[in-house]
A and B are shown apart, each in its own frame.
Chain A
Amino acid sequence: MSDENDPVKPAAVSRRGFLKGIGLGTAATGLISAATPIAEAATRDGNVRGPGEIPVSLKINGQNRNLNLEPRVTLLDALRNRLDLTGCKKVCDRGTCGACTVLVDGHPVYSCSMLALEAEGREITTVEGIGTPDKMNAVQKAFVEHDAQQCGFCTPGFVVSCTAFVRRHPNASLDDVRAGLGGNLCRCGTYAGMVLAVVDAAKAKGGA
């Protein structure tokens, strides 16, 4: 059992550095045969990346974060497992429940259903970037006030969805809220407080 893919022990040579090395050196080295499939793919199409870990640069809550990830890593797993941004939760892991919702360029997205590398070059906002316990946004304040949470596991996903919803629908009615928040699920049954919270937050002008 080796340490080759161990994220806690960064490899001495990064994948990018390795490929660069091949590119800069002459083709007539013994290295090229071992790396042939990757090198050929890279030659045919500059956009093909991986397999194996590749450098991925993400802009999250206004900060640039550089990671080495396998291309198959979802945005959700990158946030939770690599960046300790655990506000987004893994529940259904297939785009049904909304517990992993983050904003990508201001739009709510199920982060379990987007690859981390798809999010490169885009503005990612997680629940941690929306507010903090000392400085909550209008949606978060209204969630606390109306007790729109019990176990709280679905709450961050709802808060992100509601924040986006309120920005787009500042005059939302109760029915609008019921229709607009259909993409998130709660098991404890906190919808009663949630509807009131979202209407309140909308009144508080956009929730930002």
Chain B
Amino acid sequence: MAKVDWPAAEKRSLIGKRISRADGPAKSTGAAKYSYDVNRPGLLYAKLVTSPHPHAEVVSIDTSAAEGMPGVKAVWKETETKEAQYAGQILAAVAATTEEIAAEAIHRIKVEYKPLDHQVVDDNAELSKDRPSQRENGNVQEALSKAGKVIEGEYGLPVITHCCLEPHGQVTEIRDGELYVWPSTQNVSRYTDRLGEAVGVDQNKIHVECQNMGGGFGSKFNFDKWGTIGGLLAKQSGRPVKLMLDRDLELMIAGNRPSAYAKIKVGAQPDGTVTVVDAEVWGTGGMGGYNAPPVPYVFTKIPNTRLTGKGIRTNRGGQRAWRAPNHPQGCFLTMSAFADLAAALGIDELDFLLKNVAQTDRPEVYTEELKLAAELIGYKQKAHPRGDKTPGPIKRGLGLAIHTWGGRGHDSECDVTINSDGSVEAKIGTQDLGVGTRTCVGMVVAETLGLPLESIKVEIGKNDYPRSGGSGGSTTIGGISVSSRTAATEALNALLAVVAGRLGTGADNLEAVGGSLRQIDKPDNKIAWKEACGLLGPNPVTKRGVNKPGESEQAKLISQGVGGAQIADVSVDIETGIVTINEMVAVQDCGLIINPKLAESQVYGSLIMGITYALFEEAVYDSKTGRMLNADMEFYRLAGIKDVGKLKVHMMTGKGYDDRGVIGLGEPPVISPGAAIANAVANAVGVRVPYLPLTPDRVITALQKGGAA
């Protein structure tokens, strides 16, 4: 009988191999259908009316002119609230036979507003009206007075958005009392939540399907207001309705990463051992509450720490989880202050981190990863004390950061069916955000059954399939790999029990290898896969595998807690303030890697996303009008192909890593880039540029303030 465990390295046929994603050809040819691409017969297109004011009383909404327009089939207006709390808040919607008619119709809806006072400024701690949060360990005052060296600095990162290329939204259709919805979601099994209640359809009559989705990054878990409106418009019109956010709304209301600004004091002994961190952090998550990011980050064993958090409520679109929530902020604030302290002490920044990794949860891992990263980027040859002294306007520097993440697999169920014709299906209510989930399910099942990947039909993306968790917290790979491994193993065992008689041995003495079932101690005694399945007769074998995270962790199938080290090599033109990435190196662990090719893609992608928020991204709000000034893709800039420099990724594998089981990877490598790049800029130009993104104006301002330009 096959066991539910991970095969030893020498026995793996697929796991750990560099296999191209199974849906690559569909994506590269445009054949892959995203939710935005679902065109149902009789489809209507919806457009939204949103508040132009950041804060206003909504006096009245008159939709009559739109209702009379030819082609308009359904109209919705807000009745539950009389207050718009941010620009972009949805107040009315129309569904029409063409997108053009819908776009015209929303201009005929008259909304009367009474503007109210607004507040969108998030970088001034004095604007916080909430009671501050405070956490203290040890005795900060005493430690500060006793430290050999104390530095004090101010740092900050602004609100950024998710900017998913496929916007939020869905196609909704109600037929015979059943609601069919194709949302762009990272949460197929639990997307419905209370959608049924909102639309007036029984919750058990909702069918969710999302075969491909164009990016979520933490912002696509819920059905959202537009999910409700789409359902109501479909109900009213009796026709399917496509409601996808326009780009400006996508940037304004569908995802914000909270900002974080801080005053930080760090004290150390003369040898560089950090003894105390005192941080006051403020920022905004929109109208909701604020959780201050962890400072100190990673170095959780520093004896004396104090973190004061001050939330600023602003009339901006609400916050959503953004890839590794609060970690990039905590990392940037902590690593910036640490690098400044190292520079003040005249200690090399790599040596400084190596000295202090003893104060993290995983010192050995960070030591190994930092040394590897240093080797890969040629640290010894390139490093210099803060401030590149070579003549000319181009200054070059290196910067480092380390990060951590959990990544324990989520609850997940999977059905594997072996049919008598030898075909195999895996069904699982998960989703593929582009990380290769579909491919990994197929690889695990194929590995378990000793079959080629192509012979497994993997079906994901429907809530009618066995429930699997949402893709948040880097929990998907751990969850789906265990549930699919378990289901495939149990289905195989059922088949082995049938085959055992034919081969004249016990099922315990059989294994599935290379398209055959064979006797372990007498491999020549075997039966081909298809022939074996023929013995099943008319009834296929279907088994359900379940990942129970606690049990799987005990069984070492999955684990949690990863590290990672990154080093950036940048050039800064001190005349123009332009920062150029020469090279970035990422060293990352994530336990047993199912598919290194896809895993590396996650890390490359994280570096690029990190370069983007380090250099370009900021949701710019105008304090007078309270509106986002760059809700488009010209001025809310993403890094292009020429902006990213040379990238190197090294995944930790082998002993000490593989034996931990599978751990999630999507989030950790996006944490360090901002910190590493900012530290590299400081190392290059000799002064700290305290605020991200590192735009030319911020660089020049810091140079002028620091007397370097």
Q: A residues within 8 Å of B by Cβ?
A: 1-8, 70, 72-73, 77, 80-81, 84-94, 96-97, 99, 126-128, 130-134, 136, 139-140, 143-145, 147, 149-156, 159, 177-179, 181-182, 184-195
Contacts and interface: CB of A to CB of B under 8 A. Distances in A.
A120 B601 CA distance: 40
B633 A91 contact: yes
B605 interface: yes
Interface of B: 20-21, 23-34, 36-37, 39, 41-43, 45, 67-73, 96-101, 163-167, 212-215, 217, 244, 246-247, 433-435, 597-598, 600-602, 604-609, 612, 632-634, 638-642, 644, 647
Nearest to A151: B434
B97 A7 contact: yes
21 contacts: A1-B73, A73-B98, A85-B30, A86-B37, A86-B39, A90-B36, A91-B165, A91-B167, A91-B247, A92-B247, A93-B247, A94-B633, A97-B633, A147-B21, A151-B165, A151-B212, A152-B214, A188-B215, A189-B604, A191-B640, A192-B644
Contacts of B598: 147
How would you classify the secondary structure of chain A's contact residues: helix, strand, loop or mixed?
Answer: loop
B476 to A, nearest CB: 14
A159 B28 contact: yes
A83 B435 CA distance: 30
A8 B23 CA distance: 32
The 7 closest A-B pairs by CB, nearest first: A87-B30, A189-B608, A153-B214, A151-B434, A189-B605, A152-B27, A150-B434
B80 to A, nearest CB: 24
A73 to B, nearest CB: 6
B165 A128 contact: no
- With most chain B CB atoms within 10 A of its CB, the pick from A88, A93, A133 is A133
Interface centre among A5, A84, A127 (most CB of B within 10 A): A5
Given A133-B31, A149-B24, A191-B608, 13 more contacts: A8-B41, A86-B34, A90-B36, A91-B247, A94-B633, A126-B30, A133-B25, A150-B601, A156-B30, A159-B28, A179-B642, A187-B215, A189-B607
Contacts of A155: 27-28
B434 A128 contact: no
A145 B20 contact: yes
B97 A190 contact: no
B634 A96 contact: yes
B263 to A, nearest CB: 32
Nearest to B41: A8
Given A88-B30, A91-B247, A96-B633, A191 B165 contact: no
Contacts, number: 218
B100 A72 contact: yes
A152 to B, nearest CB: 3
B642 A187 contact: no
B29 A128 contact: yes
Contacts of A153: 34, 165-166, 214-215
Contacts of B213: 151
Nearest to B606: A189
A187 B165 contact: yes
Nearest to A139: B28
B641 A177 contact: yes
A139 B24 CA distance: 12
A97 B434 contact: no
Interface centre among B96, B597, B605, B641 (most CB of A within 10 A): B641
A67 to B, nearest CB: 12
A131 B24 CA distance: 13
Nearest to A77: B99
B108 to A, nearest CB: 13
A128 to B, nearest CB: 5
Given A92-B633, A97-B165, A81 B99 contact: yes
Nearest to B595: A147
A187 B609 contact: yes
A2 B105 CA distance: 14
B97 A6 contact: yes
A92 B96 CA distance: 22
A177 B71 CA distance: 46
A200 to B, nearest CB: 13
A15 B639 CA distance: 46
Given A151-B165, A152-B214, A153-B165, A133 B26 contact: yes
A12 B609 CA distance: 52
A174 B349 CA distance: 32
A80 B164 CA distance: 19
A150 B605 contact: yes
Given A153-B34, A187-B215, A96 B28 contact: no
B644 A191 contact: yes
A139 B164 CA distance: 24
B606 to A, nearest CB: 7
B700 to A, nearest CB: 25
Given A81-B45, A144-B28, A93 B21 contact: no
A54 B632 CA distance: 31
A154 B165 contact: yes
Contacts of B163: 187
A23 B21 CA distance: 59
B433 A151 contact: yes
A183 to B, nearest CB: 8
Contacts of B434: 149-152, 188
